[in-house]
Chains A and B, each alone.
Chain A
Amino acid sequence: MTTLAQRRRRDRLTVLSFMAPVLLGLLIFLVYPLVASVYFSFTTFDLVNPPRWVGLRNWEHLLEDPNVRTAATNTLWLVVVLVPARMLGALGTGMLLARFKRGAGLYRTLFYLPALAPPVAATLAFVFLFKPGTGPVNTLLAEIGIQGPLWFNSPDWAKPSLVLLGLWGIGDLMIIFLAALLDVPKEQYEAASLDGANAAHQFRYVTLPNIAPVMLFAAVTGVIQTLQYFTQAAVAASVASGQATTGGGISSTFGYPEGSTFTYPLWLYVVGFRYGALGYANTLAVVLFVVAAAVTVVMLRRFRSFL
């Protein structure tokens, strides 16, 4: 006969046997680096010299660092434009697909495929497509009498070009929205149309309330992803600038043209791994953490139910 206390202990050991690797993972890859970042943000060091305490110097530097201002502005621009653009695009295509009874599968595959393209490959393809002189897009625009902009080579058009690249890959978001749209109970639409609601009213009072949680979740994860925006900006700048860079040397072209694609994570990478200013890089990391944490808190509050 086992006592209750013995059984409790055995249950705890069972749970531990399932969770032990992940608990260790949380300590090593979440708790430790966060604590270390905060400490390092008050120090100065590089790969050769050990950390030396400098108090608030990094934080003072952060406030007057013009690169932080450029990078943060660009990242904010992307959050404000890229995230809503992708969501609207995905909602539009999702609503279109939801109306098909047959043929939806083929269209769905077609719309989804670009989302699979590796970001480096997709970015290369777009820089080629939007090449100012002889690229297919400007060639086709010229056919109908429009002189296309310089796209990835223009400080004004580089970020909008990245948005187009982001729209090309909305497939995964579209599938999430499509599933949510198909989940809306048919009876609600029927009841609404019996009450004389037109299409716009049905969207406003039936569709939107039903898919709002899915959209909010997508918005939050979209913002988090955009805060990390790195690959497309790095590759587009390097390729459009036409300079020969390999491996880590790619950072010499970050932000081309004129800093217009210079995002916050790019600056963090340059500070840490090109300038080797590891203390200051951690200061930048702590700021990114605070922003991401604030966004996450918003999500956790709204999505209590799935905990």
Chain B
Amino acid sequence: MRLAFIARHSIAIALGVMFLCPIVFLALTSVMSNDQSLTANLWPTSWHPGNYIEVFERTPLPRYLLNTALYAIGATVFMLLASVPAAYALAKLRWRGRTAIFVAIICMMMLPPQVTTVPLYLMWANYGLTGSLWPLVLPMLLGDAFSIFLLRQFLLTIPDEYLDAARVDGCGEWRTLLRVVLPMARPGIAAAAMFQFFYAWNDYYGPLLYTSENESAWTLSLGLASFRTLHAVEWNIVSAATLLTMVPIVVVFFFAQKAFVRGVTLTGVKG
């Protein structure tokens, strides 16, 4: 028993080291001099925290950060406005065509974005919105398939008795949703919001498609992908920039870890 205990922890620690070491190497390289970052030395011979300031001097990082934040926050708020009521209707109201619409939403969730890229790009070009992040934010006003799916799965776990009690008290469906369901669904909503936020924050394909010709609309991911190539061999600066883009997301994660883990669990649907 004791041996098994030690073996388990040894394996877990070894795995933990493997999961962490890419970040550690990156962090060490980010404070090296440029010359040293090109050598095989793993430990900095001299320390250069100024590399982080240099990232800000060389790139419009605050601009990228602002664009990314606007995209992520805008998409999340818009998504919730449309998706929460729809998930409620799909989980808790009975109506003809409900299954068919839910199947359509699953299909949309499973559809690779590249399938619809060209027609949608042409549509946004028609409205003169290419070159901005609007084509990625505005559609969220009409809901997001994955979020609706996730929210519905969560709302199904709320017992109908609470809703019936509200209805007996004379609440309409909207009032029931706002007064009774919303407070109970907070963990599910938090999880859906966080997924949307992280998706937008990390998105590369969308911003590349719509903003690659307009640098003032670039996001962190797009800026970072281009940054490396502008500073071909300066791995120390690149490492610093890479770590900087990871920081906000890790901070958000630690503040909302519980909701997040619960949300991830929710995505693994049982048959």
Number of A-B contacts (CB under 8 A): 302
Determine if B246 and A121 form an interchain contact, defined as CB atoms under 8 angstroms apart: yes
Interchain CB contact under 8 A, B110 and A128? no
With A100-B8, A136-B42, A216-B271 already in contact, 14 other A-B pairs whose C-beta atoms are closer than 8 Å: A15-B89, A25-B142, A37-B118, A47-B125, A118-B202, A118-B224, A119-B221, A120-B225, A124-B238, A126-B22, A176-B268, A217-B269, A245-B226, A285-B117
Of the stretches B50-58, B80-88, B157-165, the one at the interface is B80-88
Asked if B34 is at the interface of the complex by the 8 Å CB criterion, the answer is no
CB of B15 within 8 A of CB of A96, answer: yes
Known: A176-B264, A296-B106. A250 touches B226 (CB 8 A): yes
Q: Which residues of A contact B183 (CB under 8 A)?
A: none
If the complex has contacts A37-B115, A214-B270, are A273 and B209 also in contact, measured as CB distance less than 8 A? Answer: yes
Chain A 133-144: CB-based contact to B (< 8 A → 1; otherwise 0):
110100100100
Interface membership of B95, Cβ < 8 A: yes
Interface readout for A287-305 with B: 1 if CB under 8 Å, 0 if not? 0110011011001101101
Encoded as 1 (CB less than 8 Å from any A CB) or 0, chain B from 89 to 116 comes to 1000101000101111111101111111
Q: Is A36 an interface residue (CB 8 A)?
A: yes
Whether the pair B22, A272 counts as a contact (CB closer than 8 A) is no
Specify which chain B residues have a CB less than 8 angstroms from the CB of A18 in the assembled complex. 85-86, 88-89, 93, 173, 177
Q: Which of A139, A248, A265 contacts B212 (CB 8 A)?
A: A248
Q: Which residues of B contact A93 (CB under 8 A)?
A: 15
Residues of B130-156 contacting chain A, CB below 8 A: 139, 141-143, 148, 153
Whose C-beta in chain B lies nearest to the C-beta of A21?
Answer: B82
Q: Which listed residue (A30, A36, A110, A116) contacts B16, Cβ 8 A?
A: A110
Which residues does B use to contact A, with CB under 8 Å? 8-9, 11-12, 15-16, 19-23, 25-26, 29, 38-40, 42, 81-83, 85-86, 88-89, 93, 95, 99, 101-108, 110-122, 125, 139, 141-143, 148, 153, 172-174, 177, 198, 201-202, 204-205, 208-209, 211-213, 215, 218, 220-222, 224-226, 228-230, 232-233, 235, 238-239, 242-243, 245-246, 249-250, 253, 257, 261, 264-265, 267-271
- Indicate if the CB atoms of B218 and A25 lie closer than 8 Å: no
Main secondary structure of the interface of A (DSSP, over half): helix
Q: Is the CB of A34 within 8 A of B116?
A: yes
Q: Determine how close the nearest CB of chain B comes to the CB of A225; give it in whole angstroms.
A: 9
Q: Which residues of A contact B268 (CB under 8 A)?
A: 176-177, 179-180, 214, 217-218
Which are the 7 A-B pairs with shortest beta-carbon distances? A25-B142, A213-B271, A176-B268, A248-B212, A33-B116, A247-B212, A18-B89
0/1 interface trace, chain A 222-259, chain B, CB 8 Å (1 if under): 00100110110011001100111111111000000000
Q: Does A113 contact B (CB under 8 A)?
A: yes
A289–B110 alpha-carbon span in the complex (Å): 10
The answer to whether B220 touches A230 (Cβ under 8 A) is no
0/1 interface trace, chain A 8-29, chain B, CB 8 Å (1 if under): 0001101101110111111011
B270 touches A228 (CB 8 A): no
Question: Which residue of chain B has the shortest Cβ distance to A118 in the bound complex?
Answer: B202
State in angstroms the CA–CA spacing of A239 and B233 once bound together: 10
Most buried by B among A109, A247, A282: A247
Q: How far is the CA of A226 from the CA of B6 in the complex (A)?
A: 37
A265 near B114 with CB under 8 A, answer yes
Q: Interface size for chain A: under 10, 10 to 19, 20 to 34, or 35 or more residues?
A: 35 or more
Question: Are B119 and A109 in contact (CB-based, < 8 A)?
Answer: no
On whether the beta carbons of B83 and A22 are closer than 8 Å, the reply is yes
Residues on B with C-beta less than 8 A from A168 are: 19, 22
Alpha-carbon separation in the docked complex, A300 to B109 (Å): 12
Please report the C-alpha to C-alpha distance between residue A214 and residue B270 in the assembled complex, in whole angstroms.
Answer: 5
CB <8 Å contact, A247 and B218: yes
| CA A91 to CA B238, docked complex, whole Å | 34
Contact A176 B265 (CB under 8 A): yes
Cβ-defined contact, A22 with B222, below 8 A: no
Considering the chains assembled together, what is the distance between the CA atoms of A272 and B130 in angstroms?
15
- Establish whether residues B242 and A125, one from each chain, have CB atoms under 8 Å apart when the complex forms: yes
Of all chain A residues, the one with the shortest Cβ separation from B86 is A22
Enumerate 22 A-B pairs (CB-CB under 8 Å) in ascending A order.
Answer: A21-B141, A22-B82, A26-B101, A26-B104, A33-B120, A110-B20, A113-B19, A116-B246, A116-B249, A120-B221, A128-B239, A134-B38, A136-B25, A142-B40, A213-B270, A218-B268, A228-B113, A242-B232, A242-B233, A269-B209, A288-B114, A305-B271
CB contact between A246 and one of B15, B229, B239 (< 8 Å): that residue: B229
Q: Which residue of A lies closest to B95 (CB)?
A: A15
A-chain residues with CB within 8 Å of residue B212 when the two chains form the complex: 247-250
A107-B40 contact, Cβ under 8 Å, with A26-B108, A33-B120, A120-B204 = no
